[in-house]
Amino acid sequence: MSMTWKLLANLPWKYWGPVIKARSRSGGTRAFRKRNVGKSSYVDPSVQIFGWEHVTVGENASLSEGSWLNASARDGGYDRIVIGDFCHVGRRNYFSTGGLIHIKEFGLTGVDCHFLGCGHNIDSPMVPYAASGLTAGAAIEIGVNCWLTTSVTVLEGVHIGCGSVIGARSVVADCVPPFSVAIGNPCCVVKRFDFRSNRWIPAQQFTDEIAAFMPEEAEYLAQLRRNWESLRPALHASSSRFGWLR
C-alpha cells in the first residue's frame, strides 16, 4: 500500500470514500453501459457489478439503487446474468451466479431480493469459508412477468414459471409452476390462475383440465409486448436521486 493510501485509510470515510469512488469510475463502467445495456434502460450509479462482461440488461429495464450483481463464474464468453426487456430490479437486490441467472421480460422484483445461484464450499470446516472457493451452482430462471415482492430469496436450480407472484420473505427452494401465487419458507404454491373463469383459485382446486387453457410462455410474452410496448423504467422507484413524489 502506498503512503498516500495509508494516510487516506486513517481518515474518516467522508474524506477518503469519494476518492475510492472516483478511482472506481473506470472505462469498464462506460463500456458496460454502451455494450451490455439496452435502449432506454436505467442502471443506477450505485449498482456494483463483478464480471460486467457477463451481464446483460435488456431494453426499457431498470437496475435500482444499491444492487450487487456478482457473475462469479467468468470463464468463456457466456452471459451469466441476464435481465430481460421491461424488467425492474428493486433496490438492494443481490445476484450470485455460478451458472446463469435469467430474469425474463417484464420481471419485477421488490427491495432486498436475493438470487443465490452458487455458494461457498463447505467440504471442510478447517478451511476458512471465505477462502474455500465456490460451488458450481445451478441456473435460476424467472419466467416472463413474475413479481417477487419483498425480501424474496431464490436458491440455485429454481425455475419460477411465467405470470407467478412470490410472497414477501419467501425462500424459494423448489420450482414454481406458471401462473402461481407462492408464499412461505419453504415456499409453497397456494393459488393458481384459472384462465376459464379469469380468477385466482386455491391450488388444490387446479386440475389438468384447467391447465389446458393456460397460454404458452411465448404466446403470453407476445401479448404483453403488444399491449405494454410503451412501458418505461420506474425511475422514482429505482433511485432516491429522483426525489419525492407528491
User: Measured in Å, how far apart are the chain's first and last C-alpha atoms?
Assistant: 49
- In order, the DSSP letters of 222-246 are HHHHHH-TT----HHHH-GGG----
Low-confidence ranges of the chain (pLDDT < 50): 5, 13-24
State residue 219 phi and psi, 5-degree precision.
-65, -45
Strand partners, 171: 153
* pLDDT in the model for residue 29: 77
Helix (H) or strand (E) holding 114: strand 114-116
* pLDDT in the model for residue 99: 85
Q: Which three cell numbers stand for residue 4?
A: 498516500
* pLDDT in the model for residue 72: 83
Helix (H) or strand (E) holding 96: strand 94-97
- pTM of the complete model: 0.87
